[in-house]
Structure 1
Amino acid sequence: MTLTTPALLFPAISLLLLAYTNRFLVLAQLIRELNEREGAQVRQLVVRQIANLKKRIVLIRSMQAYGVLSFLLCTLSMFCLFMLWELAGQLSFAASLIALLVSLALSLYEIQISCDAINIELESMQERTKP
């Protein structure tokens, strides 16, 4: 394994962290808008959305944490390989890949929850269209 092997992950992890940050920012904006729109009276539909949003915030924070851990382990792997500590470099690279895998799995789960949130909104629209 050469020094360039873990270096290949740097752009991918960076883009992934950027995507996670964008998801977080959109979610934060959505929460602020929901708070302004609802005020003191919170409908039952919004209560369902709040639970969904809380779960998504926790997931995004975990996704970001595992993504950063993957980045750190990848950097450690490069350092170990630079110092010619081959086994340590390989182990830290493997750990980096595992952290990245966990981050991506959490991302997939968060996407599913996001789709649930959209379905809740669609239910609300359907209820308004009923005579």
Structure 2
Amino acid sequence: MNLQIETPALLFSATSLILLAYTNRFLTIAQIVRGLKKTYDQDHSKSILLQIKNLNLRLSLIRYMQLFGVLCLFLSVFAMLCLFLEQQTLGIYLFAGSLLSLLASLGISFWEISISVTALRLHLSDLIDEKTK
């Protein structure tokens, strides 16, 4: 199998956009956590504490999503370097590692989105229950 130096470079634009989206999600959740923390300090609601716990898990998952996304870029760069230095076999393995890192990042992203959807459904369940009465 012959891998061209341009192939690992294809991941740069996609991975950069994914990392930007992950960062935006992180910043949004961090802002929500700060607001909930202020509210919790005032009334010590168990519901708010559970929301903060859920968001804390999501922040941890986003950190791992970002870690694997950066690892994907890192391995892609090394794959390109190896291909440039005519180390075809090592370049192929590094590129494969970068693809696996991207898959891990996307898998964790799916997990985080699932948690988010479940939390939103739980949050909206009161409205749905009232509407059906």
TM-score, with normalisation over the residues of structure 2?
0.90
Residue in structure 1 matching 2:58, options 47, 56, 59: 56
1:10 is the counterpart of 2:12: yes
Residue in structure 1 matching 2:86, options 65, 84, 100: 84
Taking only aligned residues, the RMSD between alpha carbons, in angstroms, comes to 2.0
Contact 2:36-2:52 within 8 A present in 1 as well: no
Matches within 5 A, 1:13-32: 13-32=15-34
How many residues align? The count is 131
Quote the residue 2:115 is aligned against: 113
Give unpaired runs (5+ residues) of structure 1.
none
Using the aligned pairs only, state the percent identity: 43
Matches within 5 A, 1:59-74: 59-74=61-76
Question: What's the CA shift for 1:62?
Answer: 0.4
Give unpaired runs (5+ residues) of structure 2.
none
Structure 1: which 4+ aligned runs deviate by more than 3 Å? 123-129
Inter-partner Cα distance in structure 2 for 1:96 and 1:125: 44
Inter-partner Cα distance in structure 2 for 1:45 and 1:126: 18
